[in-house]
Amino acid sequence: MSSKTFRLLFVFLLLAIMVIPAVAAEPVKIGALFSITGPPSFLGEPERNTAQMVVDEINKSGGLKGRKIELVIYDTQGDPTKANQAATRLIKDDKVVAIIGPSTTGETMAIIPIIEKANIPLISCAAGVKITEPVKKWVFKTAQNDALAVARIYEQLKKRRISKVAILTVSDGFGSSGREQLTAQAKNYNIQIISDETYGPKDTDMTAQVTKIRGSQAQALICWGTNPGPAVVARNVKQLDLKIPLYMSHGVSSKKFIELAGDAAEGIILPSGRVLVANFLPNSDPQKKTLMAYVKNYQKRYKTEGDHFGGHAWDAVMLLKGAIERGGDTPTAIRDQLEKTNAFSGIGGIFTFSPQDHAGLTKDAFVLVEVKKNKWVLAK
């Protein structure tokens, strides 16, 4: 064999040795549970879209330490039973190392026992405070707590010298958690709840409840729920000419609410992550660069605006990315590194997790936004 042939053969073998591990590397499997269809689809669809967009961007840039991410997504339709079945499938059949989602509080609470038994890290995209309080070893979340949202609303009511409020909450996991926080925190702000009404998730008219509130001494109405119910409440309030401020929860902080409520949305105020008003933020805001990039990328890919809810999935994927890059891709390593996350600037806020805090945000994650001429603006 000539020396030239030998050198060529040596180079070929060297390249083969370098390439084979990269080709053979198994993808990192991450599971996702989103309400892509069904009543909470306004949550799950942007979450699914965002998660896939971010994973594609990571893979295009070389993946995680040279390994691609394989995102395994199941549609729960907002049903806790389907969420249970899908979570079990992700763990037992798909062998995922972590799960993001589900979209709603009820679904998340339903799958927590499965997550804890399997020792698989979960990053929920739902808001209920009970998801992470008390702290559960394997459970984290990206949606801002309803406790923080209530505090934001009550702070403004106190500044406006409003002390008597009516609350109207949906009778599901999200609404029940919100109602608990509204009643628990009222005393801290010298606020009296003088009317406490509820409505069902499938109700299509809340005239009776709004009529009772109109007959009370309430100086403001706080509605707590997710679409489409709050949009119905907004229309009923307008139809009955109830002339008191109407506040909503962060459960409707997307363009979809304005579309559903129509002109009845005008003037409504609610707490939201900064993504809805990213272009109004000062350049000094530490989140602005990330927010503007997300909005731009989502618009380019899906021809519509990226929103508050899609942002929960962006945060979940990026938190997992950081944890895996720092500590490896085993469930235990991921969990341990998630808990060490410090000052991560995401879409929902600045996250700092700890053994005592798996929600990671403060009330500064919220700003108050208001509907003006069919657009979200910063509330004054």
Mark whether 167 and 129 lie in a shared domain: no
Mark whether 81 and 93 lie in a shared domain: yes
Residue 279 in domain: no
Nearest CA to 209 out of 195, 194, 225 is that of: 195
Residue 310 in domain: yes
Mark whether 230 and 292 lie in a shared domain: no
Residue 356 in domain: yes
**pLDDT above 60: residue 338:** yes
Residue 370 in domain: no
Mean pLDDT to the nearest integer, 322-350: 97
Mark whether 213 and 100 lie in a shared domain: no
d(CA 50, CA 294): 9
d(CA 98, CA 91): 9
Neighbours of 212 (CB within 10 A): 14
Q: Which of 246, 272, 298 is the last residue of a domain?
A: 272
Question: Which pLDDT score is estimated for 321?
Answer: 98
Residue 358 in domain: yes
Beta bridge partners of 31: 72, 99
Q: Which of 213, 245, 272 is the last residue of a domain?
A: 272
Residue 19 in domain: no
Residue 371 in domain: no
Mark whether 316 and 211 lie in a shared domain: no
Mark whether 94 and 191 lie in a shared domain: no
Mark whether 133 and 170 lie in a shared domain: no
Domain limits for position 173: 147-272
* List of residues 6+ apart from 124 with CB closer than 8 A: 100, 101, 102, 108, 131, 139, 140, 141, 142, 143
Interstrand relation of 139-141 and 122-124 (parallel, antiparallel or unpaired): parallel
State the chain's mean pLDDT as an integer.
93
CATH number, domain containing residue 31: 3.40.50.2300
Mark whether 164 and 113 lie in a shared domain: no
Question: Which pLDDT score is estimated for 173?
Answer: 87
**pTM of the entire structure?**
0.87
Question: Which pLDDT score is estimated for 20?
Answer: 47
| Domain count of the fold of the chain | 2
Question: Which pLDDT score is estimated for 265?
Answer: 98
Q: Which of 241, 272, 303 is the last residue of a domain?
A: 272
Mark whether 34 and 137 lie in a shared domain: yes
* Model confidence band, residue 1 (pLDDT cutoffs 50, 70, 90): low
Mark whether 318 and 241 lie in a shared domain: no
